Amino acid sequence: MNPLVRLEPGDAPALAMENELLRYEITHLRARLAAAEERDQRRDREVQEWRERQEAKAGKPAGDAPAAQGGTPQQTGQSGKPGHTGKSGKPGKPGKPAKAGQHRDAGGAARDDLVWLLQRLEGTPAAPLLRRRSGYRRLVETYLRDGA
């Protein structure tokens, strides 16, 4: 462990500036944290409202819906948007709990996610830089150009 260093007369302004920068950074990080928490609370309210609307449409009591069982639309394979099909290609059925035997094929869902991500990356300005990497080229060749 290093011994404490004595403060030189010329170091005080630099330390004051560093202290000010750290204070600003803490303020900024606290603001980001508060914004993220607010965003999460808003999303939770929207999910709850969506669940209530789906329960009202289905005419089921709150205890029978996946929401009461702790499932979100994403966890039950539902998209949360009317007419939207999930990653499995089957339309979500709002208000109906998923049966035990109807688990999404994890490999198929992962493949769909990878294809979606590669398609998004191909449309970005960073695509030419990514194409320099052999692993990225191999993924694009395998999943996008071979009839994915």
Q: Would you kindly state where each structural domain of the chain is located, as residue ranges? A: 10-73, 104-148
Give the residue, 45 or 2, on which the prediction is more confident.
Answer: 45
Instruction: Look at residue 41 and tell me whether its pLDDT is greater than 90.
Output: yes
Residue that has been written with the tokens 């993924």 in this structure: 139
Per-residue pLDDT tens over the stretch 46-93: 999 999 999 988 876 555 545 445 555 555 555 544 444 444 444 444
User: How many DSSP H helices and E strands does the chain contain?
Assistant: 4, 0
Predicted pLDDT at 93: 47
d(CA 87, CA 113): 8
Predicted pLDDT at 107: 74
Q: How far apart are the first and last CA of the chain?
A: 58
Give the residue, 62 or 38, on which the prediction is more confident.
Answer: 38
* Mean local confidence (pLDDT), 21-32: 93
Q: Which amino acid is at 113?
A: D
| Mean pLDDT of the residues in the chain | 76
Predicted pLDDT at 40: 93
Using 50, 70 and 90 to split pLDDT, how confident is the model at 45? very high
Per-residue pLDDT tens over the stretch 94-138: 445 454 444 556 777 888 888 899 999 888 898 899 999 999 999
Q: Which amino acid is at 91?
A: P
* Mean local confidence (pLDDT), 5-15: 82
